Structure formats: structure tokens, C-alpha cells
Amino acid sequence: MPSKSKSKSKPKPSSTTSSVEKQLWSSLTTLSPWLLDAVATMGFTKMTPVQASTIPLFLGNKDVVVEAVTGSGKTLAFLIPIIERLIRSKETRGKGFLEGIIISPTRELATQIYGICEGLLKFWPVTEGGDGDEGSSTVPCPIRPQLLVGGSNTTPQKDLKLFLSTSTNLVIATPGRLNDLLQSDYVRTSSFDVLVLDEADRLLDLGFKETLMKILARLPKQRRTGLFSASVTDAVEGVMGWVGVRNGVRINVKVRDHKDEEKRTPVSLDIGYIPVQASEKLFWVPRIIESLPLPPQKTIIYFSTCHAVDYFAHLLPVILPAYFKVIALHGRQSSVNRGKNFEEFVNSTGVTMLLTTDVAARGLDVPEVDLVVQLDAPQDPKQFMHRCGRSGRAGRRGKAVLLLTKGREEDYAGFMKVRKTPMRLIPDSEIRAPEEKDVKEGLERLRKVVRGDRAVYEKGMQGFVSWVRSYKAHVTSSIFRIEDVDWSEAGRGWALLKMPKMPELKGVTDIDLRLKEEVDVDGIKFKDKAREKQRQEGIQYRQTEEFQEKMQQEKEQRLENKKKNFAWSGKQESKEQREDKRERKRKRRDAEKYSKMTEEEKKDADELQEMIRQIKKSKQDEDGDEEEQEDDD
């Protein structure tokens, strides 16, 4: 594949047209004047490197595979060419004719792209032949976009009805809802021109491959295709063929730091880490905020699970300055609440903090995010730079801080440096550690909130269990080891009143939560009177003879079923049969795992199997030699 690489570094003098002139939007003379006016009105005079590299090629009938750091302007790099291509199109437009598609992995990102597209199209000149005077005629915009996202209040039937009634020709969508639309015979793709997959690697990570294949089967092969992402993974490289990239140009816009070393994050973004005690993590957040010259306009705090977001949304306001507004956003929220909370954060004019998961780690362009704090490192290291990249966008200075538990977790910094995402160790002189007295007093205030509402108490117990499961699922499991977790420290960090029952704590007896006094957790009531009434009724029912008899019957039934199953398995299966069954299951699992591997991973797996085969053969040969020796003796 042809490659075109750009690096952001110090400009070099040139005797020809200066690089500054080439980077100006006005240098794109093939663009419609009204589109240039739209970009200028949005405050952009110069193109970013990814825009300067991509737009001319995508307009010039080239497929592109674009890799550029987060916050580098990829959205305009594909929206501008799509709009211009559809304007130039001579295809007959009518109801049901689809000409362009942009696919995004999340509703929030799709919604944001749609909003930017609508903002550009508002600059379409509605009159032809004058400025609205006599002799001019009204010309409607030939591009009619439609947003299709799952989980919304609309249905596939409503989407189709809107598609036909408005003569939509450009769809911005998430994969599932787009696939629903394309199933209809009323959607015609004979005029189709351009397809873009935004955050292409994330689309594959989220398991959309099968859905994407169904979508692509409905589109003509003669089209322009663009893959855009902050990281082009092996998975993306492997699917370029079936996605439809033909003789595509690979564009890799790199960033270099002051040492001329390649980075995968913007130069304007300062990334650092702080080794901390697990029990103090939450109390570092106000310290980080205090270290900044001014309170951050917008802050994003990342957690590993949805349950953690729900829980800490109750606790963080207790230790933050009163002027902070805290908003929670995660994938378990209803689509209505999720959209409402995201819009509230984006449009907030006050000092606002968003607590979220990786649902808000990719592609989203939220203005004025000055600070990103990760209380939990992401399960997948690829997500790290995307999280950090919510700050320091479009040249605005930003700060990203990762809190790592002291000990083995500190190796994560070296691991990320190898992945060209270096982070500096933030010294004590820059951010003051929380005082022991402040942590102790703060912990009591947090526990007061937990004791005050059973709903918060239960969220904490559920959240801690989900955090443990997430921790165990880290891709970098050699760094994040569940065996290394200090349960006393972790429990205090969550302001727990007691540890939940879970397999990981079996046999662990030396946990000290440092409670001032023993807490009767059964006595904690719901603030919601209706829920508390229901709980009390449940407690009373469990004390009745009817409930006790029911429990006894269920216990006896379980024992009976266990006996039956045991007797049946004993009759039906011999030891050899059971072993054979297990072996077949193992082979099926291995085959399924192998089918999902990249070509490079398959090669490594094949080499490993060959080594194992040779070792087994060598062992068999040795055993045979020993038997022959015994016979000779």
C-alpha cells in the first residue's frame, strides 16, 4: 500500500512554496467557496497535518487508511471530502438513494459527527443568481444527513420512514442500527459513493465485524473507502481487503517531542503518573486540581467499571470544592439519560467534572477539557492514549494524570514508554500528597454518606466486586496481578463498611478497614421510603414459617437433583468417555480462539504447537530407547 507519513516537528526553510501556505485552508482551491467560508467561520485558518495530507487524496479518488494522534482533526479530514464529493455528484437523487455512510463505534461519537456535519451544511448558500434579490432562485442543499444510533427512542421502522420522507443521502450511524436500515428493499445503493469507518480499530474491538460484513455486502464495490483511527492495529490491517480498501494510501501523521522521539499523543498534552497508596487514590483528585494555576473548566475522571462510576458519583462531591458540578456517564445508563448527561457536560459553562468509563475515551471532541485523571488504568493499554487525548485537543494545553498503586503497578509506566506513549513521574514538589490527617477525616466523611443510604452502600459492594473482576481481566496481567492487591488498602480506598463475599477473599482473614466502630450494615436504611418499606416487608417474610418451609423444600430438591445427575452420569459415562468429552471441548475452544487471531498471532501459535510436538516426539523417542535398553538387559 502506498504510504504518506507526516511528522509534526520544527519547520525547515524551503525555496519553494512555504509549508505554511500549503497548510492554509484557502490553498484548497478545489473546495466549494461556501465550505471554505464555513471552516473560516469556525475559526480555522490552517489545516492540521492530517487534514492537509488526507483531504486532497480523498477528494482525488483515493482510498485512505489514516492513523493520527487523538485530537488531530480527523473528523473534518473526512467530513469535508464527503460533503464536497456529494455536492459534485451528478447522480439522480430521489427517495431511497443512499450516497454516503459514516460508521462510528458509539452513539456519542456518531452524534457529535452529525452535529459537526449539520454545522457545516448551515453555510450552504440557499440562493442562486444573487443575494436573495429579484432574479435569484432558492436552491436546497443537496446533502440531507440522518443520524442512526441504537438505544434511542426511535425504531428501525421510524428510521426508515424518516429516511424516505426526507430523501436522506448521507447516513451517520452506529453499526447495528445502520444494518437494520439496509435490510429494507426501499434503500437503494446504486448511487453509493463513499464509506468512512471512524475509530476503525474500536469498531473491530467491540465485535462489530460480523455486522460490518453484512453492511458491506449491501454496498457496491465501486466506491471510495476511508479508515480513520488513532491507532491502526493488526486487526485493522487484516480487514482492509474485505472492507473494500483498493490501492489505498496509508497516511500516518506522527508527533515528535522536544527530543525528536516519536509519540502517540499531542505535544500540547502533558502526561504524568503518581505512585500512591490504594487507600488514598480518591484524595489525590482534589490535590491534583489544587496544583493547577486555575480550576479546570472541565475535568474527566476515568474508572474501570460502570458500577464504580455510579458509586463514586455519590462520594467525590464530598471531598471536592463546592463549585464543582459532578456528572456520571457510562454504558449501563439508559440512552436518554446517557445522551442527556453527555450534552450537559459538553454545554456546561461552569466548572464541571465527568465521571466515566471507556465509553467516553474515543473520538469525542469535548471543548475546554483541561484535566484527565485515571483512577484505574484501562484493561486494554490501547485505550490509555485515547483517554488522555480527551484533553490537549486542537493545540489547547491539557494535563493527564494516571494514579498507580505503589509496587508492581509502577511498571506500567515503562510498559507504556515501549508503546511510544511515555509518561513522566510527577514529583512531590509539583503535586502535594494528601496529609494523613486529611485522608483519615475524609474517609469518615465518605463513610457517613455510605451509612446514610443503603442504595449507596449496595452500590459500593457491587462496585468493588466489579472492580476486582475488571482488575483480573487486565491485558497486562503481569503488571496488574490480583495476587498483589492489598485488600485492606483497597477496601479503605472504596470507603467500604465491610468486605463483600467473593471467591478472591476466600481464606483471607487479616483485612483491616480501620473502622472507628463496628457498623450494623443490616440496620442501614434506604433513603427512598418506598424501597425501605419493601425491604422491611422482605425481612418480615423471611422470618415466617412459610418462607422457611419453602427454603427447605428447595434445598431438598437441589439435593435430589444432584443425586439423580450423579447417578445418571455414573451409568452413562465411563472415565475414558468423560476425558474424551473434555478433550473435544478443549479442541473446540482452541479452534474458536485460533479463528479470532491475527495472522501474526496465528504464526506464533503455530510455532508454539510445533515446538510442543517436537518435545512430545523427543520424549516418546527417549521412552522407546529406555524400553529397548530394558529388553537388552
Give the integer Cα–Cα distance in Å for 162 and 167.
8
The contacts of residue 440 (CB under 8 Å, 6+ apart) are none
- pLDDT per position as a tens digit, 563-604: 777 655 555 556 667 777 777 787 777 777 777 777 766 776
Give yes or no for residue 160 having a pLDDT over 80. Answer: yes
Cell numbers standing for residue 391: 484533553
Mean of pLDDT over the chain: 83
| Single pTM value for the model | 0.63
- pLDDT per position as a tens digit, 92-119: 567 889 999 999 988 888 988 999 999 9
* pLDDT greater at residue 155 or residue 131: 155
- pLDDT per position as a tens digit, 287-317: 999 999 888 989 999 999 999 999 999 999 9
Give the integer Cα–Cα distance in Å for 382 and 475.
10
Give the integer Cα–Cα distance in Å for 24 and 353.
35
Give yes or no for residue 129 having a pLDDT over 50. Answer: no
Region of poorest pLDDT, from 52-66, 416-430, 477-491, 573-587: 573-587
SS3 197: strand
Cell numbers standing for residue 88: 459534485
pLDDT recorded at residue 12: 37
- pLDDT per position as a tens digit, 373-431: 999 999 988 888 888 888 876 567 889 999 999 999 999 999 988 887 889 999 999 99
Give yes or no for residue 284 having a pLDDT over 90. Answer: yes
Span 342-364, mean pLDDT? Answer: 83
Convert 122-161 into a string of H (helix), E (strand) and C (coil). CCCCCEECCCCCCCCEECCCCCCEEEECCCCCCCHHHHHH
The contacts of residue 130 (CB under 8 Å, 6+ apart) are 136
pLDDT recorded at residue 1: 61
Share of the chain above pLDDT 70, in %: 81
* pLDDT greater at residue 629 or residue 582: 582
Span 153-167, mean pLDDT? Answer: 88
Give yes or no for residue 354 having a pLDDT over 90. Answer: yes
pLDDT recorded at residue 616: 57
pLDDT recorded at residue 132: 45
Give yes or no for residue 619 having a pLDDT over 60. Answer: no
- pLDDT per position as a tens digit, 215-248: 999 999 899 999 988 776 655 666 677 787 888 8
pLDDT recorded at residue 324: 92
Structural domains of the chain, ranges and CATH numbers in brackets: 3-127+139-256 (3.40.50.300), 264-505 (3.40.50.300)
pLDDT recorded at residue 56: 92
The contacts of residue 572 (CB under 8 Å, 6+ apart) are none
Identify each DSSP E strand in 474-574 by its residue range: none
* pLDDT greater at residue 358 or residue 440: 440
The contacts of residue 480 (CB under 8 Å, 6+ apart) are 377, 408, 409, 412, 471, 474
What single DSSP character describes residue 551?
A: H
Contacts 24+ apart (CB under 8 A), 415-420: 415/381, 415/476, 415/479, 416/381, 416/384, 419/264, 419/381, 420/262, 420/263, 420/264
Span 342-349, mean pLDDT? Answer: 88
* pLDDT greater at residue 29 or residue 240: 29
Give the integer Cα–Cα distance in Å for 27 and 591.
54
Span 178-205, mean pLDDT? Answer: 89
Q: How confident is the model at residue 68 (pLDDT cuts 50, 70, 90)?
A: confident
pLDDT recorded at residue 563: 76
- pLDDT per position as a tens digit, 459-470: 999 999 999 999
Q: Which string of DSSP letters, residue by residue, matches 407-461?
A: SGGGHHHHHHHHTT---EEPPTTTSPPPPHHHHHHHHHHHHHHHHH-HHHHHHHH
pLDDT recorded at residue 131: 46
Q: How confident is the model at residue 13 (pLDDT cuts 50, 70, 90)?
A: very low
